Amino acid sequence: MAKAGGPLLRAAIFVLALAAGGAAFAADSAQAPGWNPFPVRLQRPPAAPLSMMAELGRRIFHDASLSGSGKQSCASCHDPANHYGPDGAAPVALGGPGGRDQGFRAVPSLAYLERQPVFSVGPEADEDEGTTLAQMVARSGGARAAKTARNTAQSAGDVVPQGGLFWDGRADTLQQQAMGPLLNPVEMANPSVASVAAKLRAAYAPGFTQLFGPGVLDNAALLVGEAMFAVARYQIEDASFHPYTSKFDYWLEGRTRFSPAEMRGYLLFNDPARANCGGCHVDQPGRDGLPPRFTDGQFEALGAPRNPALRINRDPKFFDRGICGPYRTDMRADTRFCGMFATPTLRNVATRRVFFHNGVFHSLRAVLDFYNDRDVAPGKVYPRAADGSIAKYDDMPPADRANVDTIDPPFDRHPGQAPAMSAQDEADIIAFLDTLTDGFAPER
Say how many Å lie between the first and final Cα of the chain, rounded: 36
List Cβ neighbours of 396 (8 Å cut-off, separation of 6 or more): 301, 303, 319, 321, 339, 404
Domain that holds residue 31: 8-45+120-162+242-434
Give this prediction's pTM.
Answer: 0.89
Has residue 408 been placed in a domain?
Answer: yes
The secondary structure of residue 121, as a DSSP letter, is E
The CATH code of the domain that includes 410 is 1.10.760.10
Q: Are residues 124 and 98 in the same domain?
A: no
Among 244, 248, 243, CA closest to 262: 248
Residue 29 CA, distance from chain mean position = 33
Domain for residue 15, yes or no? yes
Kindly report the backbone phi and psi dihedral angles of residue 361, in degrees, each rounded to the nearest multiple of 5, phi listed first. Answer: -110, 150
Nearest to 55 by CA among 175, 197, 227, 205: 227
70 and 204 share a domain? Answer: yes
- Establish if 207 belongs to a structural domain: yes
- Same domain for 283 and 174: no
> What SS3 state is found at 160?
strand
Cα(255)–Cα(260) distance, rounded to whole angstroms?
A: 16
Residue 269 resides in a domain: yes
Residues 247 and 232 in one domain: no
Residue 57 lies inside a defined structural domain of this protein: yes
Cβ atoms 292, 284 nearer than 8 A: yes
Show Cβ contacts of residue 141 under 8 Å, excluding neighbours closer than 6 positions.
29, 263, 267
Q: Nearest-CA neighbor of 351 among 280, 437, 288, 270?
A: 437
Tell me what pLDDT residue 443 has.
Answer: 87
In a domain, residue 143? The reply is yes
> Which pLDDT score is estimated for 11?
32
Q: Looking at the structure, tell me whether residues 15 and 108 fall in a common domain.
A: no
Count other C-beta atoms under 10 Å from residue 437's C-beta: 17
Give me the phi and psi of 355, to 5 degrees please: -135, 155
List CB contacts of 217: < 8 A, sequence separation 6 or more: 201, 205, 208, 209, 223
Contact of 435 with 248, CB cutoff 8 Å: yes
* pLDDT tens for each residue of 398-435: 999 999 999 999 999 999 999 999 999 999 999 999 99
Q: What angle do CA 198, 200, 204 make, to 5 degrees?
A: 135
How many structural domains does the chain have? 2
Identify the segments of the chain with pLDDT beneath 70: 1-31, 125-157
Are residues 153 and 127 located together in one domain of the fold? yes
Q: Name 218's Cβ contacts closer than 8 Å, sequence gap at least 6.
A: none
Helix (H) or strand (E) holding 122: strand 120-123
Domain boundary pick from 237, 266, 293: 237
- Does one domain contain both 154 and 175? no
Q: Are 221 and 10 in contact (CB under 8 A)?
A: no
152 and 58 in a common domain: no
Residue 381: φ, ψ to 5°: -105, -40
279 in any annotated domain: yes
Within a domain: residue 1? Answer: no
422, 392: one domain: yes
- How does DSSP assign 254-268, residue by residue? TSS---HHHHHHHHH
Do residue 148 and residue 179 come from a single domain?
Answer: no
Write down which residue in 237, 252, 280 finishes a domain: 237
Sign of the four-CA dihedral 351, 355, 359, 363: negative
Write down the pLDDT at residue 32. Answer: 77
Q: Are residues 280 and 308 in the same domain?
A: yes
Find residue 162's DSSP bridge partners.
Answer: 120, 298
Tell me the backbone φ, ψ of residue 335, rounded to 5 degrees.
-70, -10
Q: What is the pLDDT of residue 30?
A: 40
Please choose, from the candidates 190, 187, 193, 203, the residue with its C-alpha nearest in 3D space to the C-alpha of residue 223: 193
Q: Considering 213, 237, 261, which residue would you say is the last residue of a domain?
A: 237
223 and 320 in one domain? no
Cis bond before residue 410 (omega within 30° of 0) = yes
